[in-house]
Amino acid sequence: MPTPFHRSLRILHFHAQDPAAWERSLPFRLSQGAYNCDADRPLQTHLTDASPEVIRLFYADTMTLTPEKAALLQEHGRMITCDLSLRAKVGALLAGHL
């Protein structure tokens, strides 16, 4: 993967977005949000200095789980799998139960 990676990182939640919405929110994430969290800020530096093509590749690498990436994560004990019961929650929300 051509982007910075740290073995201690655990992704505990995921906010899927279309690429255009993600790119629009990138300046905030770099200045005040999730990508501005490390003391030495390697991810922030990488994305701030990146070309539009590198940013598109970063999005594709981080927002798309291929079978190969899933196998690599599983191999290194980094895959966390859980049932969020989203269909049931959306159904309950639409029915006015949440």
pLDDT tens profile 23-67:
999 999 888 887 776 667 888 888 998 999 999 999 988 888 889
Is the torsion defined by CA of 38, 42, 43, 45 positive or negative?
A: positive
Q: Using one digit for the tens of pLDDT, what is the confidence trace for 76-94? A: 988 878 787 889 988 998 9
d(CA 60, CA 55): 9
Task: Please work out, in degrees rounded to the nearest 5, the angle formed at the alpha carbon of residue 73 by the alpha carbons of 20 and 45.
Answer: 50
Which has more confidence, 10 or 92? 92
DSSP string, 59-84: HHHHH---HHHHHHHHHTT-------
pLDDT of residue 1: 45
